[in-house]
Amino acid sequence: MRTKLASLLAIAALAAAACGGNTTTPAPTQAGGATSAPTGAPTAVPTSAIKAGGTWVFGSASDPTTLDAILMQDGESIRIAQQIYETLVKLQPGSASTLVPGLAKSWEATPDGLTYTFHLQTGVKFSDGTAFNADAAVANVLRWKNLPDALQGDDYYDITVFGGYGDKSLIKSATKVDDATFTMVLTTPKADFLTAMTLAPFSIQSPTALAAHNADKGSKDTTNDYWQKAPTGTGPFMFAGDFVPGDHYTIVKNPNYWDTANAAHLDKVIFKPIADSAQRLTALKSGTVDTIDFVDANQLNDIKSDTTLQLITRSPLDIGRLNINQTVKPFDDINVRKAVSYAIDRKAIIDTFFPNGAGQAADSDLLPSMPAYEPNATVTGFDLQKAKDALAASSCKAPCSIDFSYPDSVSRPYMVDPKGEFEAIRTMLEAAGFKVNPQHKPWKGGYLNDEANGKYGLAFIGWIYDYADPADGPGIFYSTSLAKCGSLTPTTPHNCEAAEDNPAVAAGMAKAIAEPDTAKRTQAWKDVMKLINADVADVPLVWAGSSLGLTAKIHGFVPSPTQTEYYNSVWKD
């Protein structure tokens, strides 16, 4: 994962520079969502119009699964964590890359990129009254480094960003300088380190609460009730004990929030889990909830046409794609891969499944907003004749029988209706001379496991970027298989999905990751993407943004492509 692709940030830095921000000179945060956001963001309102108080009922997709920040992996947990916790460094609301101060008001790095000094905000207290200071920050950082044995395996971001625990961690040490200053030393430079520090799993939690609730005991130990009873941070909201699993999770305004200029307007936010997207829309329309996330693309117009509702769409930062495992016959033949890619009419897919601007036809795993984006020059779009020709030139003559897999029981922004999309694409492939054997399994009930272990030749899958960087996407899909897939003790980061074994790609990616210079690194990634495109290593389908539906009473919501959204700016009529 990102460990292997040890350093990046270049892209983020570049984007930040383009936005006029600066990664090392923090800009002050602004109140009330006054920053401009990519699309659909509410325009800034005069502060006098803001109404304080009220309860916001948010229709989420599921309960949080943990709120011990460092163990979080899923969006619904992170959604809540972003309100009750704070990170040392934050993303500017609405931006995918601009860094602003969080619990650290400023920071500097040594030129070798190994030592970071953080200057902390003063007068900050956790919601349990514990003081936030260098001791608390160091305790948190050392917990990431020395994650207790019993918790190892529950985390994702910790191992992904820091590569290991204890001596194997990228964190060499964390040391208090004075009450408001501490330093972190890394074992090797990591250019995306500061960006990674904005991720919610690296939130600072109250060491007192962690200890009092046995957070370091394993998750199977029932004395560990930290996240259910007392997740404690410094954020504008806090947990006050109101969690009924399956029914709701409530956070309330933190009355003692340190950053008074950015204190929450709302008294309370209630997260109501509604698993099904159609049911979420029903709940919004019948007034059961004020806001829903992940509106089905086909229902966007439903919200647009309703004057009591408003629609907010996030800029896309994901890729819906067909993964190809090149070791599975007949996909070892590039002409078969070409035929698949040519046969798919992406525009028809977009019109049907991602209408109303919900998605754009993709020709690369990278988005055009990323500097390293390289359009596909090998397969230039839908062309039925070329698909037939490619198949005729291949080792698998029409009717070429292929297995094609899609997941059941799931809807993701980049894959709203997997079965519907599968059937549509199947028709297109059969028109080009393929004979498609459908394969499907529940998303969580085996599909993800099988897909990850390379069991599918052609399969629906997608990726949501944590931040805009090729290493956090193609860098994962196409990394070389170094360990036996499915083995329980892999020693090296590896990937079995694509089995892209082109040595030039592997060398190019290694070079891109090691390259310290921003412009050169971008160019190196462009070269890699050209090779990947030429190999037709996968079939990109769609870049899709996700959307929220809100009642007209809700204001001040600032959408973010990475879903890094802070609710302190939200208010309700």
- Interaction of residue 265 with another protein, rule CB under 8 A: no
Backbone angles phi, psi at 116, to 5 degrees: -115, 135
Please name which of 551, 269, 559, 557 lies closest in space to residue 413, comparing C-alpha atoms: 559
Using DSSP, state whether 134 is helix, strand or coil.
helix
- Interaction of residue 267 with another protein, rule CB under 8 A: no
Minimum CB–partner distance for residue 178 and another protein (Å) = 37
> Residues 192, 216, 417, 538: which binds another protein (CB under 8 A)?
417
Cis amide linkage into residue 330, ω under 30° from 0:
yes
Minimum CB–partner distance for residue 553 and another protein (Å) = 10
H or E stretch covering 421: helix 418-431
Contact 364/546 with Cβ under 8 angstroms? no
Angle at the Cα of 202 from the Cα atoms of 198 and 204, rounded to 5 degrees: 110
> Residues 392, 452, 510, 534: which binds another protein (CB under 8 A)?
452
Minimum CB–partner distance for residue 247 and another protein (Å) = 4
Count of Cβ atoms closer than 10 Å to residue 102 Cβ: 26
Task: Determine how β-strand 434-442 pairs with β-strand 400-408.
Answer: parallel
- Interaction of residue 28 with another protein, rule CB under 8 A: no
> Given the rule CB under 8 A, which of 128-136, 197-205, 269-277, 366-374 is the region that contacts another protein?
269-277
> Looking at beta carbons only, is 86 or 296 nearer to another protein?
296
> Looking at beta carbons only, is 43 or 286 nearer to another protein?
286
Per CB under 8 A, contacts with another protein among 134-153 are 152-153
> Looking at beta carbons only, is 1 or 513 nearer to another protein?
1
d(CA 507, CA 375): 21
Please name which of 343, 539, 342, 322 lies closest in space to residue 431, comparing C-alpha atoms: 343
Give the amino acid at 343. Answer: A
> Looking at beta carbons only, is 108 or 247 nearer to another protein?
247
> Given the rule CB under 8 A, which of 8-16, 380-388, 495-503, 509-517 is the region that contacts another protein?
495-503
- Interaction of residue 530 with another protein, rule CB under 8 A: no
Please name which of 366, 427, 405 lies closest in space to residue 497, comparing C-alpha atoms: 405
- Interaction of residue 156 with another protein, rule CB under 8 A: yes
Lateral strand order in the sheet of 237-244: 237-244, 248-253, 268-273, 55-60, 291-293, 547-551, 309-313
> Looking at beta carbons only, is 135 or 267 nearer to another protein?
267
> Residues 51, 168, 444, 520: which binds another protein (CB under 8 A)?
444
- Interaction of residue 558 with another protein, rule CB under 8 A: no
Contact 226/213 with Cβ under 8 angstroms? yes
> Residues 105, 172, 426, 526: which binds another protein (CB under 8 A)?
426
The owner of tokens 């079939």 is 539
Count of Cβ atoms closer than 10 Å to residue 403 Cβ: 15
> Looking at beta carbons only, is 74 or 389 nearer to another protein?
74
Please name which of 304, 261, 312 lies closest in space to residue 50, comparing C-alpha atoms: 261
d(CA 259, CA 257): 6
The owner of tokens 């601009």 is 98
> Residues 419, 511, 526, 530: which binds another protein (CB under 8 A)?
419
Minimum CB–partner distance for residue 112 and another protein (Å) = 30
Q: Could you tell me how many residues of this chain bind another protein (CB under 8 A)? A: 107
d(CA 547, CA 542): 15
Structure tokens at 524: 């190196």
- Interaction of residue 501 with another protein, rule CB under 8 A: no
Minimum CB–partner distance for residue 462 and another protein (Å) = 7
Please name which of 135, 73, 126, 118 lies closest in space to residue 235, comparing C-alpha atoms: 126
Per CB under 8 A, contacts with another protein among 290-309 are 290, 296, 298-299, 301-302
Per CB under 8 A, contacts with another protein among 359-398 are none
> Residues 447, 456, 543, 557: which binds another protein (CB under 8 A)?
447
Per CB under 8 A, contacts with another protein among 80-139 are none
- Interaction of residue 321 with another protein, rule CB under 8 A: no
- Interaction of residue 272 with another protein, rule CB under 8 A: yes
> Looking at beta carbons only, is 219 or 502 nearer to another protein?
219
> Given the rule CB under 8 A, which of 24-32, 94-102, 276-284, 554-562 is the region that contacts another protein?
276-284
- Which string of x and - marks every residue 38-67 that binds another protein (by CB under 8 A)? -----------------x-x-x--xxxxx-
Per CB under 8 A, contacts with another protein among 337-356 are 348-349, 351-352
d(CA 395, CA 390): 10
- Which string of x and - marks every residue 215-254 that binds another protein (by CB under 8 A)? ----xxxx-x--xx-----------xxxxxxxxx-x----
The owner of tokens 């009529």 is 573
Burial class (CB in 10 A: 0-12, 13-18, 19+), 193: buried
Give the amino acid at 358. Answer: A
> Residues 282, 327, 335, 502: which binds another protein (CB under 8 A)?
282
> Looking at beta carbons only, is 375 or 490 nearer to another protein?
490
Q: Give 476's Cβ-side CA count (13 Å radius).
A: 16
Contact 206/126 with Cβ under 8 angstroms? yes
> Looking at beta carbons only, is 57 or 210 nearer to another protein?
57
> Looking at beta carbons only, is 395 or 487 nearer to another protein?
487
